[in-house]
Chains A and B, each alone.
Chain A
Amino acid sequence: MKRFCGIDIGSSAVKVVLMDETGELVASSITPSGNQFYQSAADALTRLLEANGIPREEVSRTVSTGYGRKLFKQADESISEITANALGAKSLGTNGGIPVKTIINIGGQDSKVILLDDDGGVKDFGMNDKCAAGTGRFLEMTALNMGVTLAELGRWHGDSGKPPVTINSTCTVFAASEIVSLLADGHEKGEIIAGVHCAIARRVAHLAERTGVADRVLFDGGGALNRGLKSALEDELMREVVVPEIPQITTAMGAALYAREGF
């Protein structure tokens, strides 16, 4: 049986997806990238194959994507995460799924807005500039300052019942000191965390202003696991956003689909 592999080597996590000839998802995994991208990616692939009892020879074609795509020499080809994300999102729209027109992706060190055309191709896209504000890094830093885990952030959103505080700093480093002063002023955790979510959502909405937004909006990437961020984004964009079942793997799915198409 032929399998197709998409591997998305991001700044925080390596996502591996295996697909069969019909484009059905066979298996997927999400593991930390660590500091040796190539090794982490190679290990992740080996483990996923072993865990599912799939012999390596069955993988007909592998396509890498993400920040570390060039380092993964085992891949037959590499494509940018923007193209891959669009392909993955398009596949969600088939068989009565969600027909996606806009993708908002918040990853470890990037945030992106991708506008799709009627055929599901990339019409336009916007990405954050080199600074990490509005990305997963910002969330990690916030969690650290607040003494909560990354996964708990969403739960704290709106916990205090008070409106979110305004965080003005657009720089991750300055925002950290702004958060410290807010804590010193006696603001509650929930207010501040909600404020951070709103600040990120505002930045992403600015990006979206340039490209334009069309319904439906898909929200994916690791950031989409945070339900507080989802609700802040909905408020900022003034429309509903849809989060896929496993939001981190859309891009790796797109790479696997590309591997299958090109074969």
Chain B
Amino acid sequence: MEHERIERQRKALKGRLAEEIRETLEGTEPGGEGSPKGMGYFYDVFRRWDEPAGLADGKPVIATSCMQVPLELILACDAVPLRLCNGSHALEQAGSAFLPVKACANVKATLGMISVFQERLQDRLALVVVPTTCDQKRKAIEAVAEGAFTVYPLAVPSSKDTEEAEVYWRTSVKKLALTLEKVTGKRITRKRLAAAVDHVRQASAQFRKLSRMQQHAPPLLTGKDMFLVMNAFLCDDVQRWTAAVARLNEELDDRKQRGRFAGEKAPRILLTGSPPLAPGLKVPLMLEAAGGVIVADEVCSCSRLLHDTVVSGEPRLYDLIPAIADRYLKPCTCPIFDSGEDRRRKLIESVHRLDVDGLVYQSYSGCLPYQMEQRQVAHALREADIPVLFVETDYSPEDRGQLTTRFEAFVESIRSRKRRR
């Protein structure tokens, strides 16, 4: 009976996921000449979003609940990283059975992913790594995974500027490396780790190049395409992904020569706050449909994911692991850290450097840290005379009407402000 029930639920969910993927693609994949040909690979990966190619290889799978898990270590063990955080409304609803009503949509969807794919992942999932970043994720995973999977809490300090925090985090990453070796049965050798670092570094280099295409005035790539590219990261082999981004960059370079831009004259927007995640991407899609173009972001699912690289001199094992740890802690501007000062500084600096017209700050209902930082961010931006729009939303489609009004009004107000200047 139980098996039958789960099977039925799984089937219904698969249909709803396919629908969500189709809807997002409908908003991103334009017909005819519009989008670059190089986006084709990402549309295809996105189409199979619920069946990532990496899972087909038979390698051990390491699931992660947050981008704070050092990816290089997983790759060095020849394991497949699986992102549990997602933007699916169907998975959010599946996960809400385990959590209080007011919990964050992202956390609910993360739980939904674990519970729904439990059966499929049972034999393959070597470990679920849960960084102790936000309280909700930290507490929530236990509710479902306990008993079914091995959950590994990756201790993240709540401050990042002190020497103690650095030592704490480096130790934590070292321990994770040892655990990964144990569960995958693969030694992390100097050679393997250096290769993994190199692969991620190449991915990062291509990402940075692509960001410059998006930041170009006028932009060569829309924000929604950028989010699609970044959400495809880790859905396929890292090197295949990197090669596809490299091809896209070449094509965009060519388009630049021919003067083919995306979003000419549209107000330039910087998106920050809670991360837009596949397959939903509600806010980026609606914001660009309202006439803005996202030229940059400050979110963990996109720019924070690959912007920074591991900095190390000699690739010795004992230097590499702390260097990897540093890449994840110091540049991270997650609001769970005690101070949001560097985030505010980064936002204002980006607005000026990239000639941004306005900033959109989204926070998921239930994500208290982002909501708490709103006030200070608003104050800092108003002082700098930068228009800012706050939206609180989740994965459900019910507030689309209100969001459209807000985005259109924001875009209109920027346009009229520019006209008057």
Contact surface of A with B, Cβ cutoff 8 Å:
67, 79-83, 110, 119, 121-125, 127, 129-130, 210
Contacts and interface: CB of A to CB of B under 8 A. Distances in A.
Interface stretch (B71-79, B155-163, B259-267, B412-420): B412-420
Contacts, number: 49
Chain B at the A interface: mostly helix, strand, loop or mixed?
A: helix
B416 A81 contact: no
Interface string B396-421: 00110110011011001100110010
Given A121-B420, A210-B378, A83 B401 contact: no
Interface residues of B, number: 18
A127 B401 CA distance: 12
Interface string B186-224: 000000000000000000000000000000000000000
Nearest to B402: A130
12 contacts: A67-B401, A80-B412, A83-B413, A110-B402, A110-B405, A121-B416, A121-B417, A121-B420, A122-B416, A124-B387, A125-B406, A210-B390
A79 B417 CA distance: 16
A55 to B, nearest CB: 32
A130 B405 contact: no
Interface string B357-397: 00000000000000000000010000000010010110000
Contacts of B408: 79-80, 83
A129 B416 contact: no
Contact of A125 (B393, B398, B402, B409): B409
A67 B378 CA distance: 27
Contacts of B405: 67, 80-82, 110, 127
Closest 3 CB pairs of A and B: A82-B409, A122-B413, A80-B409
B409 A129 contact: no
A130 B412 contact: no
Contacts of A129: 392, 399, 402
B402 A83 contact: no
A124 B393 CA distance: 19
B399 A130 contact: yes
A198 B67 CA distance: 45
Interface centre among A79, A130, A210 (most CB of B within 10 A): A130
Contact of B409 (A67, A119, A122, A210): A122
Interface centre among B387, B402, B413 (most CB of A within 10 A): B413
A53 to B, nearest CB: 34
A210 B390 CA distance: 10
A212 B378 CA distance: 12
